[in-house]
Amino acid sequence: RATEIMNSAIIDVFSGIESEDYVNIITKDTGVISSISADSVKMNKLKANISRAVLEKAESSKDFYIYIPVGSLTKYPVLQGVGYRIPIKVSLDGVTKTDFEEEFIHAGINQVKNRIYIIVTARISIVSSFMTISETVSTQIPVSETIIVGEVPEYYGDKLGVVGR
């Protein structure tokens, strides 16, 4: 349920957004990519919008209950799923953390794949009359994926001075 709330909030924020809005590709006069830079102001606004949307969805969602049979609380496999069903309240705390993660992956000769993700983490609490447990739920959303193609040299060499073409 927490993942559904986070995904719903993220879909709301991402509607109408293009990944090109967040990454600036700088090219040389020849049209070759020289660098890629993230628009940090837009990225931070996106991060704040996602955090706010997740919090709003979490606050507007109602607590819900799960029911665990008493037999499932014992160590005996025969009793699993048997007995009176104990109601346990599950609520979303509204504590979220949003961060960016970036990675560069080798994608071939003189090619690099650049990926930027947003990682959203929320804490949920399971509350009953006899226990309280907090768990974190996390989801990863790709914001941008770019392949940078470098120039392939006409000549190459190694440590021994052998040169090929």
For 64-76, write each residue's pLDDT tens digit.
Answer: 788 889 888 888 8
Round to whole Å and give the CA distance between 116 and 46: 13
pLDDT at 153 over 70: no
pLDDT of the residue at 93: 66
**Average per-residue pLDDT in the chain?**
78
pTM above 0.75, yes or no: no
CB 153 within 8 A of CB 161: no
3-state helix/strand/coil string of the chain: CHHHHHHHHHHHHHCCCCHHHCEEEEECCCCCEEEEEECHHHHHHHHHHHHHHHHHHHHHCCCEEEEEEHHHHCCCHHHCCCCCEEEEEEEEEEEEEEEEEEEEEEEECCEEEEEEEEEEEEEEEEECCCCEEEEEEEEEEEEEEEEEECCCCCCEECCCCCEEC
pLDDT at 98 over 80: yes
Between residues 113 and 129, the one the model is more confident about: 113
Instruction: Give the pLDDT band of residue 165 (cuts 50, 70, 90).
Output: low
Round to whole Å and give the CA distance between 36 and 84: 60
CB 70 within 8 A of CB 84: yes
Round to whole Å and give the CA distance between 89 and 130: 11
What are the tokens at 143? 């914001």
pLDDT of the residue at 164: 53
CB 22 within 8 A of CB 42: yes
For 78-95, write each residue's pLDDT tens digit.
Answer: 888 899 998 887 776 667
For 9-49, write each residue's pLDDT tens digit.
Answer: 888 887 777 767 777 777 778 777 777 777 888 888 888 88
pLDDT of the residue at 159: 62
pLDDT of the residue at 45: 87
